């Protein structure tokens, strides 16, 4: 659970350089939940846990030196006290366990001169105490790293009982053997813990720091510097930028600084205005922000059709040259859209062009004019089924005549036509995509609980609790 919790964003200090496009914060509440889940997982992991073999020699009067080995040791029973967890400022996560008891079974073997013997044993270990600091950082690829930064472990007491072979001899001198085993356990506890933590590193290296949302755009979110660890939370700053898969180019704007403040949830995620704008830049670079409007796409109830007759009141010359012919319009972006986050509202400006054609009787297209279009939209964002969804409305549209094969004409009256076209053809398609939603990054084991979405000045924030199901 610790691994899933720390890397939940991997779904992510401002003083160190670049601002993040994506920021995430985990709180003490998250650690407390991880402690509960971790105790449950420990019940599964500790049961049957193997202990490294122990070997040594003891001098038993009057026999002399006896070599021994304890092998095949595994945990058969234990009690796990509730651990204490918290953040260690600028260091990592501190974990403390005190008063743990463990029952272990294993095999013993001895060698005395030409005599060899073997049997089994029961080992009861009392009062195990562990104080651990898990260091948290990042590597050159922007992936999370963990390490055993500090470990202090001790065994309070133990009792061993030998069975089989010359076990009577061992039991007679078990105080000496217990002292040796006690010393070796004390020496092995921290290396065992460190080996386990170091074993997480290959798993962390497998975590993706990019996510291909669709065939055209990829979202990259490597850490831009090591996590910032405070007394009550840990902050992950990630790049958080969208790129076109085929036409990769660096986004020409720098993310603005923002700060997440919600401490009532386990996890908070923030996406900056610049990060959202990089998505528009990526889609514009990919050349897919375009749509071809035909008369068949216009609802039958519409009084305006895409034919030369309907456009007579706007451009009298058009039906004279092309009487009774159908038309089509190619709409596309001329530059990247711009998004602005304001409290509880998202506005977007789209800059595009409309190339208008007449469909000739032989099915070829005759260009007639080109309009430059600037449109402003407002959007509301929601959470639905763990997806970011929304609804967009049109604020305003302005037109300018860029070129014409029919001579100059006024465009003001055509704005109503374009506005109608956006309402009837463009917005339904856009809103259909928004309704389908953008899946939030998650893992099969971790799900979001009661997520809350909030649009703020310059960034949008998702605050949520999490649930872990292995």
Confidence check: pLDDT of 172 > 80: no
Q: What is the pLDDT of residue 354?
A: 92
User: Would you state the torsion angle of the CA atoms of residues 452, 454, 460, 461, taken in this order, to the nearest 10 degrees?
Assistant: -40
Tell me how crowded residue 51 is: count the other CB atoms within 10 A of its CB: 21
Q: What is the mean pLDDT of the chain?
A: 85
Q: What is the pLDDT of residue 180?
A: 77
Q: What is the pLDDT of residue 133?
A: 95
Confidence check: pLDDT of 114 > 50: yes
Q: Give the CA radius of gyration of the chain.
A: 34
Nearest to 155 by CA among 124, 126, 193: 126
Answer whether 144's CB lies under 8 Å from 6's CB.
yes
Check whether the bond before 432 is cis (ω within 30° of 0): no
Residue 348 and residue 455: Cα distance in Å, rounded?
A: 14
Q: If pLDDT is split at 50, 70 and 90, which confidence band does 252 have?
A: confident
Q: What is the pLDDT of residue 12?
A: 39
Q: If pLDDT is split at 50, 70 and 90, which confidence band does 393 have?
A: very high
The DSSP bridge pattern shows strands 446-456 and 387-404 to be unpaired
Nearest to 355 by CA among 369, 366, 365: 369
Per-residue pLDDT averaged across 352-367, rounded? 96
Q: If pLDDT is split at 50, 70 and 90, which confidence band does 369 have?
A: very high
Confidence check: pLDDT of 402 > 50: yes
Q: What is the pLDDT of residue 444?
A: 75
How far apart, in Å, are the Cα atoms of 199 and each of 48, 151, 192, 193, 244?
Answer: 19, 16, 11, 10, 35
Per-residue pLDDT averaged across 387-412, rounded? 92
Q: If pLDDT is split at 50, 70 and 90, which confidence band does 282 have?
A: very high
Q: If pLDDT is split at 50, 70 and 90, which confidence band does 62 have?
A: low
Dihedral of CA 282/283/284/288: which sign? positive
Confidence check: pLDDT of 10 > 60: no
The DSSP bridge pattern shows strands 92-112 and 64-79 to be antiparallel
Dihedral of CA 394/396/401/404: which sign? positive
Answer whether 70's CB lies under 8 Å from 106's CB.
yes
Tell me which of 84-88, 391-395, 429-433 is least confident. Answer: 429-433
Top-confidence residue, 428 or 425: 428
Confidence check: pLDDT of 14 > 60: no
Top-confidence residue, 395 or 179: 395
Confidence check: pLDDT of 459 > 90: yes
Could you report the per-residue pLDDT of 337-356, keeping only the tens digit for each? Answer: 999 999 999 999 999 999 99
Top-confidence residue, 403 or 470: 403
């Amino acid at each position: 659970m610790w691994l899933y919790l720390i890397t939940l964003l991997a779904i992510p200090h401002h003083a160190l350089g670049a601002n993040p496009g994506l920021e995430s914060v985990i709180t003490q509440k998250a650690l407390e939940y991880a402690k509960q889940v971790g105790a449950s997982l420990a019940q599964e992991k500790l049961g049957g846990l193997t202990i490294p073999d122990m070997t040594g020699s003891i001098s038993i009067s009057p026999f002399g030196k006896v070599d021994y080995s304890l092998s095949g040791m595994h945990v058969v029973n234990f009690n796990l006290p509730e651990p204490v967890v918290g953040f260690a400022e600028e260091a990592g996560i501190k974990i403390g366990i005190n008063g743990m008891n463990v029952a272990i079974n294993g095999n013993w073997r001895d060698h005395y001169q030409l005599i060899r013997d073997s049997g089994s044993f029961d080992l009861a270990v009392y009062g195990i105490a562990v104080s651990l600091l898990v260091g948290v950082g990042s590597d050159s690829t922007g992936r999370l790293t963990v390490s055993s930064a500090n470990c202090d472990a001790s065994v309070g007491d133990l009792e061993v009982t030998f069975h089989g072979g010359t076990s009577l001899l061992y039991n007679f001198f078990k105080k000496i053997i217990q002292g040796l085993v006690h010393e070796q356990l004390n020496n092995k506890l921290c290396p065992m813990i460190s080996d386990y933590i170091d074993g997480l590193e290959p798993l962390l290296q497998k975590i993706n720091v990019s996510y291909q949302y669709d065939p055209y755009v990829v979202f990259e979110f490597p850490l831009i510097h090591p996590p910032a660890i405070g007394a009550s939370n840990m902050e992950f700053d990630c790049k958080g930028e969208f790129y076109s898969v085929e036409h990769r180019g660096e986004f020409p704007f720098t993310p603005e600084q923002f700060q997440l403040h919600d401490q009532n949830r386990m996890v908070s995620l923030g996406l900056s205005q610049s990060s959202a704008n990089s998505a528009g830049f990526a889609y514009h670079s990919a050349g897919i922000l375009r749509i071809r409007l035909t008369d068949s796409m216009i609802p039958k109830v519409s009084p305006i059709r895409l034919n030369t007759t309907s456009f007579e009141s706007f451009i009298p010359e058009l039906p004279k040259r092309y009487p009774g012919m159908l038309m089509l319009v190619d709409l596309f972006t001329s530059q990247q859209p711009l998004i602005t986050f304001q409290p509880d509202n998202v506005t977007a400006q789209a800059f595009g062009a409309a190339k208008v054609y007449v469909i000739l009787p032989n099915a070829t297209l005759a260009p007639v004019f080109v309009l430059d279009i600037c449109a402003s939209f407002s959007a509301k964002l929601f959470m639905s089924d763990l997806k970011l969804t929304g609804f967009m409305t049109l604020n305003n549209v302005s037109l300018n005549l860029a070129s014409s094969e029919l001579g100059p004409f006024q465009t003001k009256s055509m704005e109503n036509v374009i506005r109608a076209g956006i309402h009837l053809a463009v917005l339904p398609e856009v809103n259909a995509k928004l309704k389908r939603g953008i899946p939030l990054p998650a893992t099969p084991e971790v799900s979001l609980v009661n997520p809350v979405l909030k649009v703020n000045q310059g960034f949008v924030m998702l605050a949520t609790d999490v649930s872990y199901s292995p």
